[in-house]
Homo-oligomer: A and B are copies of this chain.
Amino acid sequence: MASIKDVAAEAGVSVATVSRVLNDHPSVSADARTRVLAAVETLGYRPNAVARSLRTDQTHTLGLVISDVMNPYFTELARSVEEEARALGYSVIIGNADERPDLQDHHVRNLLDRRIDGLLVSPTDGGSPLMLDAARAGTPMVFVDRWIPGVDVPVVRADGRAAVRDLVTHLHGLGHRRLAIIAGPAATTTGRERVEAFREALAACGLELPDAFIGQGDFQAESGRRVTEGFLDLAEPPEVVFAADNLMALGALDAVRARGLRVPDDIALAAFDDIPWFVHTDPPITAIAQPTGELGRAAVRALVDRIEGRPGESVTLPARLVVRRSCGENPTPVQRSTS
C-alpha cells in the first residue's frame, strides 16, 4: 500500500507538502497542489488512519457499548447513533454486552485500548471499577437509556413516568385491578425506575403492587416466560402483566400461549419499548414507545460536544403510550395506535 513518502516522491515534493495538501493547509502553491493530487490519483493513495491517529491523538471514532444487540430497541438505537455520528464525521464501534457485566468490561477495555475519542454506554450493571475509572480519568462519556447514579456523566434517556401513568389509567379504565410487572435487573436504572413508576401510577389509582406481582426478570425473553408462568401458577393470578422490556413481553406471550390461554381475554399484556413487530403479533401489543432515534442522535451530539470541548448536556425526552389490543377493547377507539 502506497504511503505518503511514495506520493511525495511521485509528485517531486516533500512529505510535509503532501500532508499540507491533504489537510488543506492554506500555504501550498497551486502548482504543488495539483502535482500532489495527481500523484495521489495515480497511486491510489489513501492516508493510513492508524498513523494519523497516533500522531494526532484522535481516532474520530466513538465507542458504543449496548446491553443486547438482539433487542430491536438497541438495534434501532445503534442505527441512529451511527447515522448521527457519520453526519458529524465520526465512525462507531459497537460492543455488545449481552447483559453480561464481564462482556461489558471486555468491550470498554478494548475500546479504551483503541483510543476511541468518546464512549457511549448503556450500562448493564451498577458500574465496574473500570468504567468508573474511565469516567473519572476524563474519557468523554455519555450514558444512554440506562445510567449509573453518582457518576458525573451526561445522561440521555426517555422518561416513562407519564406514559406508565397513562398506561395504568388505561388499564384501570378497562376494569383491570390486579396488575403485575415483570421487572428488569435491579442493577439497572431502567430496571428499577419502571417498577417505581408502575407502583406510583397504581397508587394514584388507589391500587397496590403486592410483592407476588413483582417478578424478577433480566430483560431477556426466557425470563419473561419464567416469571409469567409463576404469575399464572398463583392462586389468584394477575389480570394484566406489564413487561419492562419487549423481549420479556415476548416470553410472556409464549408462556400464556403455552397454557392455552388467550390475550387479552384470559390475561392482558403490555410492554415497555415499542417495536415494529408489536403491530403484527397476535394480538397487537399495547406498549410504551420511546423516541429511540432521537435518543441516539441526542446522545451522539452530547458526546461530540464533550469531545470537542463544549459542555454536552443531559437530555430527557418523554415516552408515550401506544394503545393496541393486548389489554382488551378500548372504550375510546380514537386513541388507537396510528402505526
Spell out A's residues near B (CB within 8 Å): 44, 46-51, 53-54, 59, 69-70, 72, 75-76, 78-79, 82, 86, 91, 93-94, 96, 106, 109-110, 112-115, 133, 221, 250, 253-254, 276-277, 279-283
| Beyond A50-B54, A69-B75, A70-B72, 10 additional pairs, beta carbon < 8 A | A50-B53, A51-B54, A70-B76, A70-B79, A79-B96, A86-B106, A250-B277, A254-B280, A277-B281, A280-B282
Assess the B280–A48 pair: CB atoms within 8 A. no
Contacting residues, chain B, for A114 (C-beta < 8 A):
49-50, 91
Chain A binding surface, main DSSP class: helix
Q: Name the B residues within 8 Å of A109 (CB-CB).
A: 46
CB of A96 to closest CB in B, whole Å:
6
Contacting pair A113 B79 (CB below 8 A) = no
Q: Do the beta carbons of B78 and A69 come within 8 Å of each other?
A: yes
Q: Which residues of B contact A69 (CB under 8 A)?
A: 75, 78-79
- Residues of chain B within 8 A (CB-CB) of A279 are 254
Closest 8 CB pairs of A and B: A282-B282, A277-B277, A49-B113, A280-B281, A49-B114, A50-B53, A50-B54, A50-B115
Please name all residues of chain B whose beta carbon is closer than 8 Å to the beta carbon of A44 when the two chains form the complex: 133
Would B47 and A113 count as touching, CB distance under 8 A?
Answer: yes
CB neighbours of A49 from chain B (8 A): 113-115
- Find the residue from A44, A59, A75, A253 having the highest chain B CB count within 10 A: A75
- Which residues on the B side are within 8 Å of A254 (C-beta)? 279-280
Closest to A133 in B: B44
- Nearest opposing residue in chain B for A59, CB measure: B50
CA distance A82 to B272 in the complex (A): 28
Contacts of A59 in B (CB 8 A): 50
Q: Pick the residue among B86, B91, B93, B280 that contacts A253 (CB under 8 A).
A: B280
Q: Which residues of B contact A110 (CB under 8 A)?
A: 91
CB distance from A97 to the nearest CB of B (A): 11
Q: Which residue of B lies closest to A71 (CB)?
A: B75
Q: Closest CB of chain B to A92's CB: distance in Å?
A: 8
Give A322 Cβ to nearest chain B Cβ, in Å: 16
Q: Are A113 and B282 in contact (CB under 8 A)?
A: no
Closest approach, in angstroms, between the C-beta of A245 and any C-beta of chain B?
A: 14
Please list 9 pairs of residues, one from A and one from B, whose beta carbons are closer than 8 Å in the complex, sorted by A's number: A44-B133, A47-B113, A49-B113, A50-B115, A51-B54, A70-B76, A79-B96, A277-B280, A282-B283
- Smallest CB-CB separation from A46: which chain B residue? B113
Question: Which residues of B have CB within 8 Å of A253?
Answer: 280
Assembled-state Cα–Cα distance A280/B275 (Å) = 13
